[in-house]
Structure 1
């Protein structure tokens, strides 16, 4: 995928593209700037750091089943957001997960990344985009609802909510 220039609602100019193996150190540096709470929301478990194996998987996805996207601020060239799209075996659904650097939250980066991933998912032929969120992650749930996602409980886990948006 080529670089896609995007602008957030607050005027931050981004360049978004798929992650590559040479992005590993920049992605690791990015995750060091994500708050512990947001790491918990992103990985749905308590993690202090994102390990080398996790970073390696993000920067070398199989492209058919998963894709990682990096958003770089065009002024600083730093990674300010990251998104993952994992596709179901039958290719009808995708699950998205997004992280934004702690000092840049509430500036439209998450919204812009989610919109970009939804556009890419639709272009891949996916019919539905899903996100599993901790019920505590109110800002993500609100953002996704604003973008047309509906919510429902996750069977067997009252701490999580499934958000779903039809793309077709």
Structure 2
């Protein structure tokens, strides 16, 4: 694929995710919070760490992790505190994804990015379930990291509470249990 102005605009939009701060952390007053790009990158690394012991297509999980929040470069990080319904959030993000992917000159690549995003949103496939679990796990891993860095244990307990019993896949459920045990042990 050759680099043209549209593809460059797409690349710049993807780069804008480095400027979009994760709103949940900002609302909690955490200094120097991660960006959406930081979050997506670590999710992709976590998907890589799944190894070959999962029946899921690991490469598809990595790609899905990379594009799952791509719409946020246009719509921002919409959180429950914004009072936006799930349907409205999905509609905004789908419209943004169409706009974003329209910049990709190769139809096959455009379709692949959109398909990955829609698969993630639907949450039906094993890969989508894993990546949704990784999304939640990355959030609590980040919460634990912020707690350790700030020295204030429990400050972000609501993030842990919001994911309690929400993991659908065995591998990420085990990671969550281990993380919670490590957090409790270091209390």
What TM-score bracket applies, with the shorter chain setting the length?
0.3 to 0.5
TM-score w.r.t. length of structure 2 = 0.31
Is the strand fraction higher in 1 or 2?
Answer: 1
**Greater gyration radius:** 2
Is the helix fraction higher in 1 or 2?
Answer: 2
TM-score w.r.t. length of structure 1 = 0.34
